[in-house]
Amino acid sequence: MNDEPLWSIFLNASLVNNFVLAYFLGICPFLGVSGKISTASRMGAAVTFVMLVSSACAYGIHAFLVMIDAPYLQLISFIVVIASTVQLVEMFIKKVSPALFRALGIFLPLITTNCAILGLALFQTNKGYDLVQSLTYAVGAGLGFTLALVLMAGVREKLDLADVPDVVRGTAVTLMVAGILSVGFMGFAGLGG
Partner 1 sequence: MSSEVMTSPTDEFLKGLWRENPVFVQVLGMCPVLAVTNSAINALAMGLASTFVLVMANAAVSTLRNFIPKQVRIASYILIIATFVTIVEYVIQAMSLELHKALGAFISLIVVNCLILGRAEAFASKNTVPRAVLDGLGMGLGFTLALFCLGSVREILGSGALFGFSIFPEGYQPWVIMILPSGGFFTLGAWLLIFNAFAKRRAARLARQEPAL
Site residues, partner 1 (CB under 8 A): 21-28, 31, 72, 75-76, 79-80, 83, 109-110, 112-115, 118-119, 122-123, 126, 166-168, 170-176, 178-180, 182-183, 186
Q: In whole angstroms, how close is the CB of 142 to partner 1 at the nearest point?
A: 17
Please give the backbone phi and psi of residue 4, each rounded to the nearest 5 degrees, phi first. -65, 135
Closest CA to 100 of 58, 148, 39: 39
Q: Where are the alpha helices (DSSP H) in 69-165?
A: 74-96, 98-104, 115-127, 131-159
Sign (positive or negative) of CA dihedral 40, 32, 141, 102: positive
CB closer to partner 1, 98 vs 187: 187
Sign (positive or negative) of CA dihedral 34, 36, 39, 41: positive
CB closer to partner 1, 67 vs 180: 180
Q: In whole angstroms, how close is the CB of 6 to partner 1 at the nearest point?
A: 22
Residue by residue, DSSP assigns 86-99 as: HHHHHHHHHHH-HH
Please give the backbone phi and psi of residue 160, each rounded to the nearest 5 degrees, phi first. -60, -30
CB closer to partner 1, 63 vs 172: 172
CB closer to partner 1, 96 vs 180: 180
Q: In whole angstroms, how close is the CB of 30 to partner 1 at the nearest point?
A: 8
Spatial distance between the Cα atoms of 136 and 138, rounded to a whole number of angstroms = 5
Q: In whole angstroms, how close is the CB of 170 to partner 1 at the nearest point?
A: 7
Q: In whole angstroms, how close is the CB of 57 to partner 1 at the nearest point?
A: 16
CB closer to partner 1, 122 vs 150: 122
